[in-house]
Structure 1
Amino acid sequence: MKAWKYDEYGGVDTLKLISDAAVPEINDDQVLVRVVAAALNPVDFKRRLGYFQATDSPLPVIPGYDVAGVVVRVGNTVKGLKEGDEVYGDVNEKALEGPKQFGSLAEYTAVEEKLLALKPKNLDFVQVAALPLAIETAYEGLERADFCEGKSILVLNGAGGVGSLVIQFFTCRVEVNTQSR
């Protein structure tokens, strides 16, 4: 299969498109996803630069966290997904603690069932591929700030992925609270 890969840490020139990568094998709790769209996040280039060497998987690496695609094979213990399901998610449960050696910047990737969700019918693959890591970051940031009713928040640079999602979370929360009164 085709995939983006790097064999050493460094600048963008270390990233190479290869056409002979092996299709990943899946574990019992995983599905094989044919990648339709993948997103790039700041963690992707920081990882390539070697910022997380102490906790990274061994080189070579096929990078990428966010994925949207179609399930083509399911592991033996997978119960909630089936072949043909359109899914999206973050292929790594924890971004910096042992990220996978084989990520989403390939034609296929292996992902644990618990890390995927069915793609909403009203969104396309590109739209849902842009969500996972940004939405996780926005939500976790609001949780860590103990954001709740009665508190104010200032979102600087709200035009990016995380900032725009924080604004949307806040807007949805205000609408829900207003409607419940």
Structure 2
Amino acid sequence: MKPFTRDTAAMLKLPVANVDTDQLIPARFMKEPRQPEGYGRFLLHDLVAEGGAPAPSSGQTILVARRNFGCGSSREAAVYALADHGFRAVIAPSFGDIFASNCVKNGVVPARVSEEDAERLLDTADLPVTVDLAAQTIVCGNIVVPFAIDPVWRTQLLNGWDDIDLTLAEAGSIAAFTARDAGERPWATPRRG
């Protein structure tokens, strides 16, 4: 996964609450069990067609929305569609839990802001926005907004780590514990060979 430190880009403003994963990518477009490439063209398909959302354009890598973004089913394809379109960060007051976890596993930052700050960002002129994960800030013109993210997720995104990489980062501590435990509880160590 590509590390994320900061991104400055155009922002897609989606002034909608409770955007569920079926609205992010309708089920009828998911033909393969895992197909992250190509899903981007279906992002927000029905919302755009019904006039309920602006169409994402190239160059937009940051999305801001209202509360409860990514709710509904746990379909990871919703994040595939975002990532395939090029989105690197989603800003909202709250997220569906599984959706937020899937974001991190696919290199997309789920940046939690207050409802007031989300509205401030939605009301800005069409200026470039910067999401700085190291500083946990969002800057758009003269607006500076702090955001929250789980510290473990932050570490994973900053380093481009998946869950296995996160575990391997503790290899020294794991080896030291294993050696110490084998000495303290030899009966608990399985015999080899």
TM-score range, shorter chain: under 0.3
The higher radius of gyration belongs to 2
Q: TM-score, normalised by structure 2?
A: 0.26
Q: Determine which structure has the larger helix proportion and give its number.
A: 2
TM-score (norm 1): 0.27
